[in-house]
Structure formats: structure tokens, C-alpha cells
Chain A
Amino acid sequence: MLILECPYCGVKAEETELSPGYEAHLKRFGPGSSDEEFEAYMFARKNPKGVHFERWRHVYGCGKWFLAARDTNTLEVFGTYPAQSSEPPADLQDKIKAKRPDWKGYK
């Protein structure tokens, strides 16, 4: 069972209190973009066996969206951070690198 700490209200919530929202930090493409860009934005999701950044919503709590770093192969949660982040915080990335030396880094 996943337990994620909501970065807004500080509650350590287990997953029935949360709603998953798949990949985080998607760059959105709309009218005027190329077919390839739009297809990639719509369908080509990162699907790593390992470190993954994703969106969650504290749906039965404060109701806010936040982001989480998690290992899809072990279910280990590295940390959570606010949704208003264009990329994972540096200290979180350092923490993941320390735990997963093979990790090729964000992006």
C-alpha cells in the first residue's frame, strides 16, 4: 500500500485517500504544434521500470494536486512536492541519485 505525504496539508495519506494522475511535468502541445509533438503529448508516456515522477490528488483530503517521486519497481516513495514545480526540487533529485546511483536523471 502506498503512503504519500501531501505537501500542502502535511497529512500522510494512504492511497485510498488519493487519486492517481499519471505522469508529471508533461509539456503540453496544442494548436500549431507538429503531429509528432501532439501525439507524444497525448499518448507517449514515460513508463520507466524505476524512478518515476507522477501526479496525485489528495482527493479525500485537501483536494489539491501534488507531485511525487516513486520507484515503480519497488513502490518506494522518494518524496512529494507541490504541483507548481516545473521540475523536481534539487534536494529530491540528489536524494534519488544517492539511493539509485544508476538513475540517469530527470528527463
Chain B
Amino acid sequence: MKRYSVFAIAKEALNYHMGWEKAWASPAPKKEYDAIIVGAGGHGLATAYYLGKNHGITNVAIIEKGWLGGGNTGRNTTIIRSNYLQDSSAAIYEKARSLYETMSQDLNYNVMFSPRGLLMLAQTHHEIRGYQRTAHANALQGVATEWISPAKVKELVPIINIDGPRYPVLGALYQARGGTARHDAVAWGYARACSAMGMDIIQQCEVKGVKTEGGVVKGVETSKGYIGCKKLGIVVAGHSGQLADMAGFRLPVEAVALQALVSEPIKPCMDVVVMANTVHGYMSQSDKGEMVIGGGTDGFNNFTQRGSFHHIEETLRALIETFPIISRLKMLRQWGGIVDMTGDRSPIISKTPVGNCFINCGWGTGGFKAIPGSGWAMAELVAKGEPGPLAEDFNMWRFKEGQFIDESVAAGVAH
């Protein structure tokens, strides 16, 4: 792998930029691998990357049904934060956020991490109490957040209307080192690093079945033939239930559509991320100037990657009152992603009833921010066969035991 640097740009400029090599190879699958990761989204690629980097396992294939980073990794609103209430969540999301800080240097790929600050608006008295509690919990967890006044919110976000009357801003939970990153670059950077370590990224290859013998996984049937493996990691978000079904177990996961939309580009007007959880409106301004807006989920199972229009209407109706400046903006694109929701709205990083088969799913509406931490924890699980400290509370048996990591209650909404 040729390193990207200012000198490389200068050198390639002399060749009219015709000499850049492909960022990753696209080999045909081998007969067998030490580990197969199903799903070349952010979480799958990060898992493979840390398998190689932290555990020295590089005889790995990452199998992808569509194209790399083409699922929820390419469909989210790129928000990164770690201001969670529960200790287990704060640990893994803060691990992820801290890995984002150095990801560009680590991968030698500019992921454009922008720790521009993130506000979660309190617009009801219930939220005031909830976020003050979270701020205290974060202080104990070592996550830098603070509760700020409406005046401070107005100072950070001059375009905001804090007076209501329907949706007044009563304060906010502020995480100064939260922000955004370039979502595609995260997938591409991991893919390039994985390929450089000798891993095989196999796109357009759909898993059709999981082969087990005596309760232990042996390989996967795919649209490109049978591929054997010693270990299998399933990291497929919305289709986790389908893969689990192939492997012969059930997951406490339901797939629903989550929507986002983006406006025409305008001049810089907001240099923080603002989340209004009560109205399911999440807004930031991209480097191109577009206002990127996340909405809420539908209330029914859906695999169509398009959501119900009335959710968009509800989100915008509220945001227009909070941000009057956007009322005349044209919305350019709207799309949906299929997210896998668990009963406690926390993820599953777990061993499964099938031997040597591991699952990472259930990130629901907030998976992008967790990509590096999730990959770190999943790689440890796949490599050692047992979860490390980051993953152990996220096992799939917690529902039976009643040991929920209850973030839906913590925030009053899904993340």
C-alpha cells in the first residue's frame, strides 16, 4: 500500500494523477479462511481491521452482499457522541469516539473527523431532569459532557430559536468533543487498511446459508460458492435476523426503517451538531453546506429502505420552529436505512448458540458513532472466543436474565 501524504500528492501530480493505485483489491474468494466477517459496512470492516491489528489474524475474508459501505454506513447522519447514561454504553461509545480522534492518522486515510461539539436539546422538563442525570453519570464515567443553559445554547447556535412556544429550548447536554466524520471515508479507510494487511474484501457476494457440523460453524454458502471458515462473525445490521435464521438461532431484533434527508447547500450557519430528541430532529451542516437532518423510525417492520413520509413532515415541522432560518430551504434528497432494533435499544456483541459463530448487531438508530469501538470489541470476541470488558455486558442472553442496558428509558427515545 502506498502511503497517502502531501509528498505523494506532489509526486502523483507530475503524472497527472494517473498513478494512484486502487485503494483495495477485489480478489476471488479462497477455499477457506481463519475468519469470515459477513458484512462490509463500517462495523464489519472495523472488526476485520482490529482482528489484524490487535490480534494478528489476517487470513480473513469480508463478504458483502452489495457494495462496500453501501448499507447504513452510507445512509446515516454521521453523528459521533458518547453521552450515554449506562456505564456499559458509555464505555464502548467513548472508546469509539476516542478512536475516531486518531483514526485518520491510524488508517492513513482522512476520515474528516470533526469534533465540532454536540448539543442534545432539552425541550421538556422531563428532558432537563434526564440530561442533568446523564451529565452527572458522564462525570463519573470520565466522559466529558456538561449541562448548559439556554443562553449558552443560543451563543453556540445563533440560528436557534430558544423561545418556543411549542418547542422551547430549556438547556442542553453539551459534549464538546462530539461531532461528525465522513461516513464513506470510514468504510473506505478501513477497507484499504484491511486489504493492505492481506485480507480479502469480496463484494457482490451474498451469503445463502451457514454450514454447521455438531453445532459448530464450518463455512458459508454464498452466491460465489462455498467458503470454509474456522470462525464466523455476522455483522449485517438490518439483515441480522435472516443470517441468524440461516445459522439456526433467533435474535431479539426487529428491522425498521429510519430516515434522513439533506437540504440544498447554504453558507456556513451552524458549526455544532444539534439533536432535538423530543421531535426526532437531528441536524448538522456538512462541509458542502447542506443541512443534514435525521428523522425518526417507523413503527412497523420494513426492509424497503424507504420510510413513511409523515415522519419527515413531523421532524421538519418541529425543526422549522426551532430553526426558522431553514423554513425556505429546499430538501434535495431523502432516504431510509434498515436498522435492527433490540428490546433495550442497546447492541448485541455476543457469542451465539452456534460454536465459533459470533454476532454484532442491534445498533439500531445509532451505529455509525460506535464503528471503531464496536469493531475493537467484536475483534476481541472473535479472536479469543470470549468477550472482553467492552463487549461482555452486550451478550444476547441479557434479555433472558433481565440485565438490560436500558438506553431507551435513559433518553426517552431511541438513539
Contact of B254 among A15, A16, A45, A74 (CB under 8 A): A45
Contact-residue size bin, chain B (C-beta under 8 Å from the other chain): 20 to 34
Tell me the smallest distance from the CB of B68 to a CB of chain A, in Å.
22
Tell me the interface secondary structure of chain B in the complex: mixed
B115 contacts A by Cβ under 8 Å: no
CA–CA, A54 and B301, complex, Å = 9
B324 vs chain A, min Cβ distance (A): 25
- Which chain B residues (107-160) contact chain A, with CB distance < 8 Å? none
* A2-B308, A49-B242 known; A72-B255 Cβ under 8 A: yes
Instruction: Say yes or no: A54 contacts B255, CB within 8 Å.
Output: no
Candidates B299, B342, B399; contact of A20 at CB < 8 Å: B299
Q: Is the CB of A19 within 8 A of B301?
A: no
B252 contacts across to A, CB distance below 8 A: 39, 43-45
Is B309's beta carbon under 8 Å from chain A? Answer: yes
Residue among B239, B242, B254 with the highest chain A CB neighbour number at 10 A? B254
Known A-B contacts A35-B400, A44-B252, A72-B303; A49 and B239 likewise in contact (beta carbons under 8 Å) = yes
Say if the beta carbon of A73 comes within 8 Å of chain B: yes
Instruction: Tell me the complex Cα distance, A16–B250, Å.
Output: 32
Cβ contact within 8 Å between B255 and A75: no
**What residue in chain A is nearest B310 (Cβ atoms)?**
A16
CB-CB contacts of B248-267 with A at 8 A, as 1s and 0s?
Answer: 00111111000000000000
How many Å from the CB of B305 to the closest CB on chain A? 10
Give which listed residue, B239, B255, B343, contacts A43 with CB less than 8 A.
Answer: B343
A75 CA / B298 CA spacing, docked (Å): 13
Whether a CB of chain B sits under 8 angstroms from the CB of A9 is no
Given A15-B308, A22-B254, the answer on whether A43 and B399 have CB atoms closer than 8 Å is yes
Q: How far is the CA of A1 from the CA of B300 in the complex (A)?
A: 12
Question: Contacts A36-B400, A43-B399 given: A49-B254 contact, CB under 8 Å?
Answer: no
Residue A42 at the chain B interface, CB threshold 8 Å: yes
Do A22 and B300 form a contact, CB below 8 Å, given A2-B308, A43-B252, A49-B242? Answer: yes
8 closest Cβ pairs, A-B complex: A43-B252, A20-B299, A47-B241, A20-B300, A39-B400, A43-B399, A43-B343, A72-B301
Interface residues of B (CB under 8 A from A): 239, 241-242, 250-255, 298-304, 308-310, 342-343, 399-400
**Can you add 6 more A-B contacts, CB < 8 Å, to A35-B400, A43-B343?**
A1-B308, A39-B252, A43-B252, A43-B342, A44-B251, A74-B304
CB-defined A-B contacts under 8 Å, sample of 5? A15-B308, A35-B400, A39-B399, A43-B399, A47-B255
